[in-house]
Amino acid sequence: MVQKWKRWNTAARKWLWILVVLGVAASLPVGYDRLQTESTSKNVELVFDYRDLLDVSVYQAKPEDFISEQLDRLKENGVMSMALYESTLDELVKSRRITVYDAQQAADLTGTTISPNENFTYIAFNSEESAVLIKPIIEETYSRLGIPVRAWNYEKAVDGLVLETPRSNAVIKPMTPDPITIAMLRDKGFTIVPRLSDSLPYDEAYVEQLMAYFSDIGVKRILFEGDAAKGFNDNADKKSLNAFGKLLNQYNIGLVAIENIKRPQKGFTQLAYMTDYNVTRIYSLSERDANLDPETIGDRFALASKDRNIRMFYLNAEPSRDMTKASITHPLDNLIDALTGTGQAIQKMEDNGFTMGLAEPFKVTDSSMLRYFKLGAVIGAIALITLMISYYIPFLTVPAFLLGLVGSAGLYVLKPTLLEQALALFAAISAPTVAVILAIRKVNDTQKIIPDMSAGRRVSHSIVLLVKTTIISLAAVPVVVALLNNVTYMLVLDQFRGVSLLAAAPIALIAVYVVLYRGGSTYSSIQKLLKAPITLTWVIAAGIVGIVGMYYLSRTGNAGAVSPIEMAFRSFLENTFGVRPRNKEFLLAHPMMVLGVFLSFKYRHAVYLLIIGVMGQLSMVGTFTHIHTPIYISAIRVVLGLGLGLIIGLIAIAAWQILERIWKRWSPLLLRR
């Protein structure tokens, strides 16, 4: 009975491979849908922070003239939108709309005595226009917040108000954006991108009025300020997120998702869902980075639009004190140089097929057979994972597959998103692991049949085996793409989970296979390993492996630090090939795979190099888990890495052959001495 069970599990592999092939075939139409979706949004929009321009103008002799001049320059050089925050009293002061006084200052101005029981805020309007347009906004805002507002007459002011609250409290209350500034920006041809906060209680009537106003002035997208979307804080009591989402749909206003923020803005994902993902991603060039070399900024913009589906760029600028020039400086000239001067950011993006215009959301393409194709991908993923298990624990092949089907069905009912992410992760781990295991088995079998293979045949076998291994590894790619085919991943509202596990698991699994599963009894290999004495060499080797492993994992994902030399090398690769291949693939992993296979046909222990080689296989699969990167970019990156890695691997083989011949010739002479 035991022998029969073994035969069943062994025979099951053939059927599992058939299911993998069918799963890949079912996944391909889903990948085609994603390609079509990725081609629907080609406009790139440049947005400038108007508040920053206002801050810089404070240090100019003629602030209004400076603002007007810089706005014209920005417009001429490709900036088409202005980000406008909700107004505050401080901002209105910088704009010369009003003058704000505390109680002591107001008493000094009017020649009266300050009341010991009044700590109010006094506002004087600096022009008739401000009194007409700004005064109603201030009155409405503070009255809505329960702060008494009354008239204040000061002979040198056009008009005035008293807010019965301390100045420190009054100046931080957000109000409707300054209508005078909006009119001026629209006259200059800019689109307005409002920045809304959720710092005040949600007032549905006010927000509806605000959204209607935004629609009238041509607002297409809203960018949230702070850590929460509008309406989040009062959602539990007022269902304010639902109300705000309905207003967004009613006035056809979309959202902007900020790239690389530490935590997603609270409530953003729900609003994105309610608006049918009328969302575009934005890259923010920080105040510090605004002073980078223009060419660096240009490369960043070109790379972000091409590789990360970024369709909006947010430009910041802040004044800084330059003691070497004894003056206050700003980066506006540098930013303009980056866009159209030496940085050529706009030209580079246009060369990549993009058009400068208002950003648009992706138009999702979904096949009518999508659910059936995804079911095929699910079964293919389960089969791939089961195959990996079968090479380590053959006895569990059939039970693992059946358990995978039942578990997946249950998880689909409870949490389908978790099912997709889990299967995508373990399929991505399984494919490169199985591929390298099969490569090791092929090397072992060939070595037994042809123990003295010529160098030429070893080279050809190495190339063929690299290609076969790569094909098996990449079998996971269509499956992963199909499982994660959702616009939420393209917008990074959801992400592929387990990047570090994907980076480490195949390496560890191949190391275990090389040590314990290469011929003979696995049980005997484990016993031998447990009985082996622990020497200082082992301890040092373990320490080195640990340090290298920690460094490798620290470089996984987007958080790793990159040296200036590596950044320069990356830029060189990007400019040379158009798409940058991954360094670890073509400089290390693929060459080690080729060299390792070549040497393994002759030296048994050279197979340990394949532990490094699997890094390239998993990296290729991992490239396609970056769902926000277009598929064709990932494909080009993989092909370039593979081609360059093969060339370097062949060079490594040639170098080994030369060194081996030198050693054979000179080592006898050295030993005699």
Give whole-number Cα distances, 539 to 178, 483, 512, in Å.
68, 42, 18
For position 562, what pLDDT does the model report? 65
For position 83, what pLDDT does the model report? 97
Q: How confident is the model at residue 368 (pLDDT cuts 50, 70, 90)?
A: confident
CA distance 147 to 144: 8
Q: Is the pLDDT of residue 532 over 90?
A: no
- For 82, the 3-state DSSP assignment is strand
Tokens 């001495």, located at residue: 673
Radius of gyration of the chain (CA): 32
What digits encode the pLDDT tens for the residues 110-163?
878 778 888 999 999 988 999 999 999 999 999 999 999 999 887 766 788 999
* Average pLDDT for 63-72: 95
CB atoms within 10 A of CB 457: 12
Q: Supply 646's token pair.
A: 């093969």
Q: Is the pLDDT of residue 671 over 70?
A: no
For position 509, what pLDDT does the model report? 95
Edge-to-edge strands of the sheet including 149-151?
98-101, 121-125, 159-163, 149-151
Q: How confident is the model at residue 669 (pLDDT cuts 50, 70, 90)?
A: low
User: DSSP string spanning 295-354?
Assistant: HHHHHHHHHHHHHS---EEEE----EEETTTTEEE-SHHHHHHHHHSSS-HHHHHHHTT-
For position 117, what pLDDT does the model report? 85
What digits encode the pLDDT tens for the residues 372-418?
999 999 999 999 999 999 999 888 888 899 999 999 999 888 898 89
For position 2, what pLDDT does the model report? 62
The shares of helix, strand and coil residues in the chain, as percent rounded to the nearest 5, are 60, 10, 30
Comparing CA positions, the residue from 113, 170, 343, 282 lying closest to residue 162 is 170
Q: N- to C-terminal Cα distance for the chain?
A: 64
For position 561, what pLDDT does the model report? 60
* Sign of the CA dihedral with 654 first, then 655, 660, and 662 last: positive
Q: How confident is the model at residue 526 (pLDDT cuts 50, 70, 90)?
A: low
Q: Is the pLDDT of residue 558 over 60?
A: no
Q: How confident is the model at residue 469 (pLDDT cuts 50, 70, 90)?
A: very high
DSSP-derived pairing of the beta strands 159-163 and 191-196: unpaired
Q: For residues 418, 419, 420 and 422, what is the CA-based torsion angle, rounded to 10 degrees?
A: 80
CB atoms within 10 A of CB 495: 16
What digits encode the pLDDT tens for the residues 185-231?
999 999 999 999 999 999 999 999 999 999 999 999 999 999 999 99
Comparing CA positions, the residue from 493, 81, 85 lying closest to residue 271 is 493
Give the residue, 386 or 559, on which the prediction is more confident.
Answer: 386
Helix (H) / strand (E) containing 257? strand 254-258
Amino acid at 572: F
CB atoms within 10 A of CB 301: 24
User: DSSP string spanning 143-205?
Assistant: HHTT--EEE---TTSSEEEEESS-HHHHTT--BS--HHHHHHHHHTTPEEEEEE---S---HH
For position 74, what pLDDT does the model report? 97
Q: Is the pLDDT of residue 436 over 70?
A: yes
Q: Is the pLDDT of residue 531 over 70?
A: no
In order of their start, the domains of the chain are 1-39+365-671 (no CATH), 43-86+179-356 (3.20.20), 89-175 (no CATH)
